Amino acid sequence: MPYIGNKSDTAFTSLIKQDLTGASGTSLVLSHAVANDNDIALYINNVRQEPTTAYTVNGTAVSLTGSVANTDDIYLIYLARAVQTTVPPDASVTTAKLADNAITSSKLASGVIIPTAEVLLIGGGGGGGGGLSNSGVGNGGGGGAGGFVFGTVPLVSGSGFNATIGSGGAGAAVGSSSRTDGNPSYFGQFKADGGGQGGSYSGLNGNTGSSGGGAGYGTNAGTALTTHGFYQLGNNGGSYTNSGNYPAGGGGGAGGVGGNSSATVGGAGGNGTNTYSTWATATSTGDSGFYASGGGGGSDGGTSGTAPSGGGANGTNSGSTPSVATANTGGGGGGGGNPSGGSGTSAGGVGGSGLVIVRYLSSTNLATGGTITSSGGYKYHTFLSNNTFIVS
């Protein structure tokens, strides 16, 4: 008949009997230990004995208040020694019934594959260097590109990863050495370093970073930090030339070293990389399919250094407005050009911010977070600002 509530489990219960005929005296021995006197039903000559009065039990030992003879018919039933088998109904066990992390890979059937996602991280580009006044002194080196790191993560239901986007470094201000390195980007355990700041006149060297900053007038170029537990693409900055218009060196890029300057031309920024141009197209990011190029070096009357595709900024010439790198590319900021006749500015340009992109092969969304797009059978999650990637 119909009833309200959950369907009853199917259970099978059997009680165990032990025959003790032949025993004599005031003690018996059980084949199974029990917790107390009430866990057995003891019969002597088919008369049930009263627990705690006719007998007591301690483990497997039964003590009788009277004595039995070896001719007495003695047996017992284990009441607490029931054997029960419960079979849950088909499709009745839900994930809520399982403790977190209760199922390990060793318990999965052969051939079961946990899906994974690919992750691309780019750090913020370094700021461009400049002169320390607007009175006609010095040229700044281009900023180094942000680090470029690739990895994979398992898509385990309920897991989450924080995406932190590194900002680009500040360019050198007029009369100040306040240019800075780019900031790193993070995703879970992965980190992409920021690019090194460009060198500034005088004595402020290009800095070490994911890619090194280019050398300013009278300074040294920065070197690349290509590994920190995870391999990242990066290259050294270029050097300056101590002659002619004293142009500055270009910042290093993910795909190539920063260019050295000549007597009249600032060093070009290092090449970016288009290894992940498919990702750039699918997410409408990058610069013509490239990411993370270095900034060009500044010049004073000659030709400033240019930045190739990848978001890096060109250097400036003779006090022009600082050249800013493209946001969310990790490009390096352009180096400032020495103002002619003491007018204009020798400030450097700001580096481009970084980004994080996660993709996995699926026709449906397996996670939330970022801007989600679909292309080529993949789902892409693009993070241009801080957010969280959560697996559904």
pLDDT over threshold 70, residue 173: yes
String of DSSP letters for 198-248:
PPBTTTBPPPPBSSPPPP-TT-PPPPB--BSSSBEE--PPPPP-SSTT-PP
Contact 238, 249 (CB under 8 A): yes
pLDDT over threshold 90, residue 251: no
Q: Between 88 and 370, where is the model more confident? A: 370
pLDDT over threshold 90, residue 118: yes
pLDDT over threshold 90, residue 2: no
pLDDT (average), residues 359-382: 97
Q: How far apart are CA 215 and CA 48, in angstroms?
A: 102
| pTM of the entire predicted model | 0.71
pLDDT (average), residues 160-173: 93
For residue 240, what pLDDT is reported?
82
pLDDT over threshold 70, residue 40: yes
Average pLDDT for the chain: 85
For residue 49, what pLDDT is reported?
94
CA distances from 233 to 28, 220, 222, 226, 308 (A): 81, 21, 15, 6, 16
For residue 5, what pLDDT is reported?
56
User: What is the band of 38 on the pLDDT scale with cuts at 50, 70, 90?
Assistant: very high
